[in-house]
Amino acid sequence: MGDNTVIIALACNECKRRNYSTRKNRQTNRD
């Protein structure tokens, strides 16, 4: 279960990064 938690945490980090980049791009496009 410990390994799974680490994998999920890493995946979550990547997701947040992607979402942040997407949000930035969307905001830039709006401007």
Cα distance between residue 4 and residue 26, in whole Å: 32
pLDDT of the residue at 20? 79
- Along the 31 residues of the chain, how does pLDDT read in single tens digits? 688 999 989 988 888 888 878 777 777 666 5
Count structural domains, the chain.
1
- CA 2, 18, 30: angle at the middle one, nearest 5? 155
Angle at 21 (CA atoms; ends 17, 26), nearest 5 degrees = 150
pLDDT at 2: 81
pLDDT of residue 30: 64
Look at residue 18 in the predicted model and tell me its pLDDT: 85
DSSP string across 1-31? -HHHHHHHHHHHHHHHHHHHHHHHHHHHHH-
The per-residue pLDDT for 17 is 87
Q: Which domain holds residue 2?
A: 1-30
